[in-house]
Structure 1
């Protein structure tokens, strides 16, 4: 008995010791926001003031010292995130996560980002400021790796740290350029709909205007179920530990429409929510340079920024920069494919994927003249389909690093405009405003026209020599508006109007946000940052009343229950707002799910229906289809002896929605508030493991907003009791040139990626409640409200 007690005491002692050691390490691992350190390769002492939200304000004698310091402080807050970001594009996640990441590594390792990055580094001018300052930033990161505190995530996973290189920087930009991936999700599904059901079934989607028969005939053959490609790519991106860009809002108001006669810029890029969030804020001040910027982990120059002279932001252009080609293989030689000039040989490359605690995996990458054969890179696909992916990012010269440097070092609007031409992909709406009163919207991207008989929304024919004929357009043909006479510009991923009669193809989001932004800006003058700060969290839908009107008008209310009638009254009286206490959004979005399920699932199957819900085209179709009583989708193909009508389907789905809500929220309709179902959790990759979720994750929080309002909180339509919000504003920024030192911003969670930092989640409640904090530029205010960290040159 005494022996048992001794053993228990020893076990208890060891457990207490583990807890003490763990707690001690966690305390030790906190970032240093004050004190004095030495840093190699500094010319002069550099001071960093960390303000009350952990934003570093770096005061240096020259830009090289500032960038070295930026790399160091960025790494101490976000090294774990940097490690993830640099691994996904070259296919190196399996080294730290094991076989669970192998599917992701096989795909990304095969599509050519890593090779493109190596080529871009080799072509970079080694004497340019881009190169020298980027190397200084990387030097700061690498000094932190060598001398700083190792993040807990890296310790838990046992990652051996390596130095960061310029190729890592390009790989990070490469993944962020790919992650939009709407073509990969959409084109295969649209091709299947075309080949299985015909042209009538595509009309409700409104892709690129009317689809003529010539376009339908651009490639036809037996049905191949290309949706397997959509399924594979969607699952890879959903499982990715790195968030994807998905949308955004931005507008710039000219001085003619503001209260104080100065430009105001607003921007909220939409990215899948994660913890830590996408952006790291830093303010650099040198004798010849100042910039308050927003940085992606592991990259040296900001994608968003402002100073006293100008401000810029971005949204996704959503243009089509990816095409898929079905290659026709030689029946006598599977290593060849057909071209107009005869059969050509595929090229082959073998790569090695290292897998933690397992044997290496050999990856064979097959490539045609159009690009890598992605059907050989995705699990579960029939490799004989041989579908090639042509992506402008890897096919054109990569100058993304030069471009981002130039954006953050522009001298005026003219030089800013010129730098955008360097970005061939991704397509971006880049927004600009300055202290001189200029405003601009300029799109990036290498644009092209296809023959009229070709529609790039489908899998194209790789053998006919027609589908891959591109007429490349000059940069001056990119959509843009510079100082327009209506005195404002805006972008919300909407379809640009035709230029020279040509409507640029793409995967644009519905017009809802664009209509709302334009409507508010057009009718009002005397804007200031307070009224703009209310507008950027606006929750009113521009189209919901029209859509709900179409749907309720078609209902057969003869046998409605009391709850069904009460809910219908609420919907008819609704002003299309999505506040936490509203009930109508709960009703509307549940009904949307059941109506879409009833119209799409019988033709396309349960799995493909879920894939469609992940695309923009479903959002595009809702308004069109609910107004079209003749849509072929209304009929349930499984009921052979009858043809369902719009009224029957909408009535049935409405009743299903009410019944579902009664089961989930109770029988009292007045208790079905939006706050009970619309919630967000900012999830850390390790927080997916239940044991670590409370330590790493932030949330859950009820949150206002919805799909396609200005306060865009993105979710997939579902019958779940709680709708998990997947993405939304990655930051909200309001730059007011009449009061530049008091411009406003907020991050979804916090500045630091270290769970022990007080800045890990200190903005989360502010964010979900639509509040803001200052972006400080005034040095006296910064000094008075900050901690101070001094870096001295190593002797």
Structure 2
């Protein structure tokens, strides 16, 4: 929340928004409650950073010199704050709350039910007290701020995720476990991860760390190894608060009027001086709607509950992972992780393999919800977290393997609501398909799976396009049908069909959802597509049912389009666009030529600086997509530039630890 002090007063609104998330405040509180051993390590780590700052004060890195700023001294709460900012980056349910809330409010619950995976009538309804004009401003402002900050810090991409799997020795050539992990994050320059071998005192551990965290986040020690994937937990709820008509600092809870807590925040400015803002807090959390000055003093307000506001112990958890000796130590370590929610896989030298979700899951009195909840009704409040002892886990499963790829982690018999944000199952299904086919698995087999570019999603959706062929199509449209007929869903760099398919899918999504989303405002279609896992599952569902009001183009008046009309239109538009952009010869339509990745630097956006200093690294042709094990998620607004993917890949071979 100090961007304005470095980059200028125009970043003040972003600072206010970040302060409202309370990341800096909760980081200080977490640091205060740390155990003494952890705090000493953190203090020593910060002393090392600060020594380097002093040592290089006359020769700072180029970025500092260009911006005319000096690095500030670090303290332990900065390390915690950095970890909590990662939780903000990996948090995605804020977007669902806004998009689904807007759809429900402006188009009705029936319209929402068609695109809300797993929707049921028992879920919370949008409060009848909402005023469309006020909440529309809230939704718009949150989207504006989130996109601005995520653009600045290079984590706007919706294509975050991860793959991990572990095989027991019964399935490997050596008789020892194999563990594989590749986190999917936004590409950045400098790199996200750094290899580390930390040896000294109690530590002998290697793996990868993120700059600013003192130990490996993913790695192995002398006896154990572990990996992460995002558990996709729904850890944010927005509450529509009823404010007192005569006092903006009172809000309703049941039959009572409670006082809001007023917190003053002082934000420094670049040109000197500072500004003070007041953040209002309810028992749910901060009033996020106050980020827009027009909404202050209104009779409705929107507050935010986030598990990131809870006091958690992830730093201690990282240290315990680094030092663990067995499954019991692993279990203790995972119990300390609250946010961001992770699936942790495990293996050890004794041949054990396992999985535990490392996350705090809020208990909701009225079940699941991906839309704002009525704040005045206490029955919708959170009331604690799911007890760790009741969380599911796996230890040495009979099948001899465990696969996680942001997919649904537990069936519907589990008594608590975890999430509705699960990934499209394509990646997990393909990894599972490959793992189940293995006999005497090797490290090379693990590499092959990590580099697999086969999309089961494409295999499922392609027949819908093929069913629209009439037999009278012109040359390149006819060729498009031929390409798709002969395609098996392999999204290799040289594949013409892969480029055609993604061009058609891009058009299909715009043609199904774009007309309604455009009525909501500027960022809504992009934000909806940013719910990539949800919109993919929605697309599968409505294509299969062949019945949805979303197929109709609201811009064509009384005429109602059918599913197949929209599919055909989308394929035709894709062919036309490829002819214009790539050329009339389909042999030149190659996925890797259009689907490229660049590792962007924050200053690389400034063309003259990038030309002078080569901040950005790339582009490189790339295969795959967000639906393949070799993840290659791309920008919807700038197709098909890859924005996220495997930020690192690890394979741990317990026969050669």
Same fold judged by TM-score > 0.5? yes
On the 8 A contact 1:232/1:379 being kept in 2, the answer is no
CA apart distance, 1:681 = 0.9
What is the CA–CA distance in structure 2 between the aligned matches of 1:332 and 1:558, rounded to whole Å? 69
On the 8 A contact 1:218/1:467 being kept in 2, the answer is no
What is the CA–CA distance in structure 2 between the aligned matches of 1:380 and 1:730, rounded to whole Å? 41
- Say if 1:280 and 1:703 are closer, same or farther in 2 by CA, change over 3 A: same
Aligned to 1:492: 405
Secondary structure of the structure 2 residue equivalent to 1:302: coil
Secondary structure of the structure 2 residue equivalent to 1:284: strand
CA apart distance, 1:363 = 2.1
CA apart distance, 1:381 = 6.5
Aligned to 1:609: 525
Q: Determine if the alignment matches structure 1 residue 134 to structure 2 residue 49.
A: no
Q: Between Structure 1 and Structure 2, whose CA radius of gyration is higher?
A: 1
- Aligned positions of 1:402-551 closer than 5 A: 402-452=316-366, 454-470=367-383, 472-498=385-411, 499-502=413-416, 504-551=418-465
Secondary structure of the structure 1 residue equivalent to 2:381: coil
Q: Determine if the alignment matches structure 1 residue 188 to structure 2 residue 98.
A: yes
- Aligned positions of 1:741-780 closer than 5 A: none
Aligned to 2:219: 305
Aligned to 2:289: 375
What is the CA–CA distance in structure 1 between the aligned matches of 2:578 and 2:297, rounded to whole Å? 44
What is the CA–CA distance in structure 2 between the aligned matches of 1:460 and 1:121, rounded to whole Å? 32
CA apart distance, 1:449 = 3.7
Q: Determine if the alignment matches structure 1 residue 162 to structure 2 residue 81.
A: no
CA apart distance, 1:390 = 0.6
CA apart distance, 1:137 = 1.7
Q: Determine if the alignment matches structure 1 residue 392 to structure 2 residue 277.
A: no
Among 151, 169, 173, the residue aligned to 1:239: 151
CA apart distance, 1:105 = 1.3
What is the CA–CA distance in structure 2 between the aligned matches of 1:714 and 1:268, rounded to whole Å? 14
Q: Determine if the alignment matches structure 1 residue 664 to structure 2 residue 581.
A: yes
What is the CA–CA distance in structure 2 between the aligned matches of 1:626 and 1:632, rounded to whole Å? 12
CA apart distance, 1:362 = 2.5
Q: Determine if the alignment matches structure 1 residue 570 to structure 2 residue 488.
A: no
Secondary structure of the structure 2 residue equivalent to 1:327: strand
What is the CA–CA distance in structure 2 between the aligned matches of 1:466 and 1:325, rounded to whole Å? 12
What is the CA–CA distance in structure 2 between the aligned matches of 1:655 and 1:230, rounded to whole Å? 36
- Say if 1:697 and 1:179 are closer, same or farther in 2 by CA, change over 3 A: same
Q: Determine if the alignment matches structure 1 residue 716 to structure 2 residue 631.
A: no
CA apart distance, 1:729 = 1.0
- Aligned positions of 1:590-629 closer than 5 A: 590-605=503-518, 607=522, 608-616=524-532, 617-629=534-546
- Say if 1:646 and 1:327 are closer, same or farther in 2 by CA, change over 3 A: same
What is the CA–CA distance in structure 2 between the aligned matches of 1:360 and 1:456, rounded to whole Å? 39
- Say if 1:586 and 1:219 are closer, same or farther in 2 by CA, change over 3 A: same
What is the CA–CA distance in structure 1 between the aligned matches of 2:650 and 2:280, rounded to whole Å? 44
Q: Determine if the alignment matches structure 1 residue 636 to structure 2 residue 553.
A: yes
Q: Determine if the alignment matches structure 1 residue 177 to structure 2 residue 95.
A: no
- Say if 1:542 and 1:401 are closer, same or farther in 2 by CA, change over 3 A: same
Give the superposed CA RMSD.
2.1
- Say if 1:272 and 1:383 are closer, same or farther in 2 by CA, change over 3 A: farther
Aligned to 1:65: none
Secondary structure of the structure 1 residue equivalent to 2:505: helix
Q: Determine if the alignment matches structure 1 residue 673 to structure 2 residue 590.
A: yes
What is the CA–CA distance in structure 2 between the aligned matches of 1:144 and 1:472, rounded to whole Å? 41
On the 8 A contact 2:164/2:228 being kept in 1, the answer is yes
Q: Which moved more, 1:238-247 or 1:575-584?
A: 238-247
Aligned to 1:7: none
Aligned to 1:145: 53
What is the CA–CA distance in structure 2 between the aligned matches of 1:456 and 1:383, rounded to whole Å? 27
Q: Structure 2: which 5+ runs fail to align?
A: none
What is the CA–CA distance in structure 2 between the aligned matches of 1:158 and 1:626, rounded to whole Å? 54
On the 8 A contact 2:487/2:497 being kept in 1, the answer is yes
Aligned to 1:219: 127
- Aligned positions of 1:690-701 closer than 5 A: 690-694=607-611, 695-701=614-620
Secondary structure of the structure 2 residue equivalent to 1:701: strand
Q: Determine if the alignment matches structure 1 residue 296 to structure 2 residue 210.
A: yes
Post-superposition Cα deviations, 1:86-115, rounded to whole Å, max 9, x if no partner, equal xxxxx0122221134323211112221111
Secondary structure of the structure 2 residue equivalent to 1:415: helix
TM-score between the two structures when normalised by the length of structure 2? 0.93
What is the CA–CA distance in structure 1 between the aligned matches of 2:256 and 2:356, rounded to whole Å? 42
Secondary structure of the structure 1 residue equivalent to 2:414: coil
Q: Determine if the alignment matches structure 1 residue 561 to structure 2 residue 471.
A: no
Q: Structure 1: which 5+ runs fail to align?
A: 1-90, 741-795
TM-score between the two structures when normalised by the length of structure 1? 0.77
Aligned to 1:365: 279
What is the CA–CA distance in structure 1 between the aligned matches of 2:600 and 2:293, rounded to whole Å? 26
Secondary structure of the structure 1 residue equivalent to 2:216: coil
On the 8 A contact 1:273/1:683 being kept in 2, the answer is yes
- Say if 1:242 and 1:175 are closer, same or farther in 2 by CA, change over 3 A: farther
CA apart distance, 1:479 = 3.0
- Say if 1:600 and 1:386 are closer, same or farther in 2 by CA, change over 3 A: same
